[in-house]
Amino acid sequence: MLPLTSLGSVDLQAFMKARHIQGELLHLDSPTPTVETAAVAVGAQPEQIVKSILFLVDGQPVLAITCGTSYVERRAIAVRFGVGRKKVKLAAPETVAEVTGFLVGAMPPFGHRQPLLTLIDQRVLERPVVYAGGGSDYDLLRLDPRTILQVTQGEVLDLITPPGSETDLMDA
């Protein structure tokens, strides 16, 4: 079996054009491997940088989208799917590339090899504009966060607050 080729910013641009998705792909002069470097590169706050993180929930791929340097609470994902926290694992870089077509750190919120069940932290939608992975270390996607919700048909929930804490609105 031949190895799958990686997808990149050209593939993301083609995906967006074919579906008339509004957004601007920004090509940068230097790589943006972290939230902080991405924010500096585009003159934004770290909370405007959107991370797309692939988890495996009981072996099934689930994309989590959050803002800035926030830590995704695996228990929130576990509660959503009715599984134990140990059934929610961060996907290995090889798995990310295989499932999505994109490399870790450059993965956009959509345009993957296959449609992914997507969970979007509610804070993402509080921003008027966000910057997401653009398919390579040198590209970022500037867009309205509601576009991410529309394209992914994602589910909005609190991915940051641990379930059962006093600030959590759900019954755990």
How confident is the model over 150-167, as pLDDT tens digits? 999 999 999 998 777 644
User: How many CB atoms sit inside 10 A of residue 96's CB?
Assistant: 22
Place 170 in a pLDDT band, splitting at 50, 70 and 90: very low
User: How many CB atoms sit inside 10 A of residue 170's CB?
Assistant: 12
Place 38 in a pLDDT band, splitting at 50, 70 and 90: very high
Place 33 in a pLDDT band, splitting at 50, 70 and 90: confident
Closest to 110 measured CA to CA, from 133, 87, 144, 83: 133
**Architecture of domain 9-157 in CATH?**
Alpha-Beta Complex (3.90)
Place 171 in a pLDDT band, splitting at 50, 70 and 90: very low
The pLDDT of 51-72, averaged and rounded, is: 96
Which whole-number Å values give the CA distances from 136 to 22, 153, 159, 163, in the listed order?
19, 24, 25, 34
pTM: 0.90
Mean pLDDT, rounded, of the chain:
92
The pLDDT of 45-71, averaged and rounded, is: 96
